[in-house]
Amino acid sequence: MRDGVALAANVWHPAEGSAPTLLVRLPYGKDAMVITSGGVIPDLPALLEAGYAVVVEDCRGTHRSEGEFVPHMADRADGEDTVAWIAEQPWSDGTVGMYGPSYLGMVQWESAVSGAPALKAIAPAFTSIDNYEAPWYGAGGALSLSLVTWWNAMMYTADAQRSLAAGEGTVSQVQQLGQAFLFPESLNDVLPTAEVPVLAAYGKWWDDWMAHPSHDGYWDAMELTPELKNVTVPALNIGGWYDLYIGQTVRAYTTARREAGGAQAREGQRLIIGPWDHMSSTGVYPDRSFGPLASAQMLGLTGLHVKFFDRWLRGDTRALDDVAPVKIFVMGIDQWRDEQEWPLPDTRWTDFHLTSAGHANTADGDGVLTTEPPTSAERDTYLYDPRRPVPSAGGASMPVTFGFGGPVDQRTVAGREDVLCFTGPVLEEPVEVTGPVSLTLFVSSSAVDTDFTAKLVDVFPDGKAINLCDGILRTRYRGGLATEELMEPGTIYEITVDMTATSNVFLPGHRIRVDVSSSNFPRYDRNTNTGGVIARESEEQMIPAVNHIHHGPNHPSRLILPVIDRKDQR
């Protein structure tokens, strides 16, 4: 690298001559890439058979690479230097592409905004261009607790092992961190969150993340959204409806499609979204299977990578002729479908109003979801006690070792008094919902700060209730993630909860439902309701909040769904 630090890489290249080269940069160990490829990660032997050289590199300060690892800090410069190094090698023809999911995708965007001349295309999967909004916090300002504790325990364990091999640190420290990584559930219960013993004791970036709960300058330095105007390479964006990065995946696609620095980069954007979560691309879950065609393997995702790189690294102008700009899996009918744009151009944004007689608590309550604006004013009330949070049940969660990732039957959590359920009538005709989803609420609280959660649910004829997408808003961030503004208890505020996106056909006999509450734990941390620094507060400081959802003519709380009406496709 430019500062003299050496990074370790595995290289596969032709015995003779030169070839276009594909680069993977990761902090999880380059030597594992051969056995982990396949699924969302392209099959390595298939890439080699297609005539590509492949370089897999350990990020700075991880595994066999020198230096110190701090997430996202050195990846832009190191990626730029690595791409330049590849282009100079005799086995490289001077053109470079990149691929890989999650952190492996973040480093691709960081290299792309740097303008590395030899970089010609990227294929980021399950990833983000704003590390605050995903993965470490959320689009509504809540800490992604289960992910942050588990991921940091994993990375600190690897870091401590490196230190021990260098004659520093202790065996006890490695053992404690390893135990936390393998059995992370207990970490989420520790309060204050910033003082989780095994993580806080190790320090490093954990302290920084806890010290910056707002989207301030610390996170601005890592956000790439404003820099997508500098991107001059096409991108194959890959996401999953149940992936924690789904909001960022579609945001990267739409922003680059609109603002990238060149017609080729804008028009060369592609988007693929399957019924997958962050760790699984099979489309098969205990409570819901999306059929034999749902997997990345059946889709032929490796082959789509090859076509994409053939187009932009080899110059084969016909390589993508049979690949639509957007390919999505439509749940409900469980079919792949090609589209030309995202959001879909024939989207009909439809308001589904929340109404009740004041008793929408639980799925057996009187909460109703209707396209007819309500004529009478009412409110629903529940007690949110952070000492008794609503447990996470499915969704864009990680790690899945807790058993709450993907599509999960909601009947267990929908029976709680602190969950409001608003349900539409039994459908006589199919209703397709494809695109971004949001919930506008008129709320008040006894507290100066609290959270509001929203979950879109497909209720089956037998009562099974499968979650599709969800969101959370910390009300102090209702005016934006960079500034905090507390509430006046009892005052009614209009807020919007970003529920990311989905694609689902609600079939005849099914019902559309939205569930509203104030916690989703341990997917997100618990709001203590005090208005203080949540990560620094103890259980003794927590206070319950009496929360209200107002609806009626003057307070039109409503679920906003992107309805697609294509009778010829029914």
CATH of the domain at 240: 3.40.50.1820
Q: Are residues 236 and 312 in the same domain?
A: yes
Residue 569 has pLDDT above 80, yes or no: no
CATH of the domain at 404: 2.60.120.260
Instruction: Put residue 403 in one of left, alpha, beta given phi > 0 → left and psi -120 to 50 → alpha.
Output: left
Q: What's the domain range around 387?
A: 348-569
Q: What is the predicted pLDDT for the residue at 39?
A: 84
Q: Are residues 403 and 442 in the same domain?
A: yes
**Which of 138, 145, 130, 107 has its CA nearest to residue 28?**
107
Instruction: Give the contacts of 365 (CB within 8 A, at least 6 positions apart).
Output: 356, 359, 420, 421
Q: What is the predicted pLDDT for the residue at 132?
A: 97
Positive/negative CA dihedral, 63, 67, 69, 74: negative
Instruction: Give the contacts of 495 (CB within 8 A, at least 6 positions apart).
Output: 440, 441, 442, 443, 452, 473, 475, 478
What's the mean per-residue pLDDT of the chain? Answer: 96
Q: Are residues 362 and 496 in the same domain?
A: yes
Instruction: Give the contacts of 214 (CB within 8 A, at least 6 positions apart).
Output: 141, 477, 481, 482, 483, 484
Q: Are residues 124 and 148 in the same domain?
A: no
- The structure tokens listed for 337 are 């479908």
Mean pLDDT of 185-196: 95
Domain presence at residue 30: yes
pLDDT digits (tens, 9 = 90+) for 265-288: 999 999 999 999 999 999 999 999
Residue 401 has pLDDT above 70, yes or no: no
Percentage of the chain exceeding pLDDT 90: 95
Residue 35 has pLDDT above 80, yes or no: no
Cα–Cα distance, 23 to 75 (Å, whole number)? 13
Q: Are residues 352 and 208 in the same domain?
A: no
**SS3 assignment, position 297:** helix
Residue 399 has pLDDT above 80, yes or no: no
Q: Are residues 422 and 390 in the same domain?
A: yes
**Which of 310, 322, 312, 317 has its CA nearest to residue 50?**
310
Instruction: Put residue 500 in one of left, alpha, beta given phi > 0 → left and psi -120 to 50 → alpha.
Output: left
Q: What is the predicted pLDDT for the residue at 551?
A: 98
Q: What is the predicted pLDDT for the residue at 27?
A: 97
pLDDT digits (tens, 9 = 90+) for 2-14: 999 999 999 999 9
Lowest mean pLDDT among 32-41, 222-231, 421-430: 32-41
Q: Is 75 exposed, middle or buried (0-12, 13-18, 19+ CB in 10 A)?
A: buried
Q: Are residues 363 and 493 in the same domain?
A: yes
Domain presence at residue 434: yes
Residue 402 has pLDDT above 60, yes or no: no
Mean pLDDT of 61-86: 97
Domain presence at residue 527: yes
**Domain end: 182, 212, 242, which one?**
212
Number of domains in the chain: 3
What are φ and ψ of residue 53, in 5° steps?
Answer: -85, 150
Residue 144's identity, in one-letter code, is S
Instruction: Give the contacts of 508 (CB within 8 A, at least 6 positions apart).
Output: 427, 428, 429, 430
Lowest mean pLDDT among 194-198, 307-311, 419-423: 194-198
pLDDT digits (tens, 9 = 90+) for 131-145: 999 999 999 999 999
Residue 568 has pLDDT above 70, yes or no: no
Residue 403 has pLDDT above 60, yes or no: no
Q: Predicted confidence band at 59 (pLDDT cuts at 50, 70, 90)?
A: very high
Q: Are residues 24 and 155 in the same domain?
A: no
Domain presence at residue 124: yes
Domain presence at residue 4: no
Q: Are residues 255 and 118 in the same domain?
A: yes
pLDDT digits (tens, 9 = 90+) for 460-493: 999 999 999 999 999 999 999 999 999 999 999 9
Q: What is the predicted pLDDT for the residue at 32?
A: 85
Residues annotated as catalytic (active site), given as ranges: 102, 243, 278
Domain presence at residue 464: yes
**Which of 307, 301, 269, 304 has its CA nearest to residue 40?**
301
**SS3 assignment, position 255:** helix
- The structure tokens listed for 181 are 């990584």
Domain presence at residue 487: yes
Q: Are 513 and 465 in contact (CB under 8 A)?
A: yes
C-alpha 449: how far from chain center: 25
Radius of gyration of the chain (CA): 24
Q: Predicted confidence band at 404 (pLDDT cuts at 50, 70, 90)?
A: low
Q: What is the predicted pLDDT for the residue at 516?
A: 98
**Domain end: 314, 339, 364, which one?**
339
Q: Predicted confidence band at 344 (pLDDT cuts at 50, 70, 90)?
A: very high
Q: Are residues 433 and 527 in the same domain?
A: yes
**Domain end: 282, 308, 339, which one?**
339
Q: Are residues 108 and 148 in the same domain?
A: no
Sheet harboring 326-330: ordered strands across? 9-12, 53-58, 19-26, 92-101, 119-125, 236-242, 270-277, 326-330, 335-339
HSE toward the beta carbon, residue 103, CA cutoff 13 A: 16
Domain presence at residue 327: yes
Instruction: Give the contacts of 420 (CB within 8 A, at least 6 positions apart).
Output: 360, 361, 365, 367, 380, 382, 515, 516, 517, 549
Q: What is the predicted pLDDT for the residue at 203?
A: 84
Q: Are residues 376 and 315 in the same domain?
A: no
Mean pLDDT of 353-374: 97
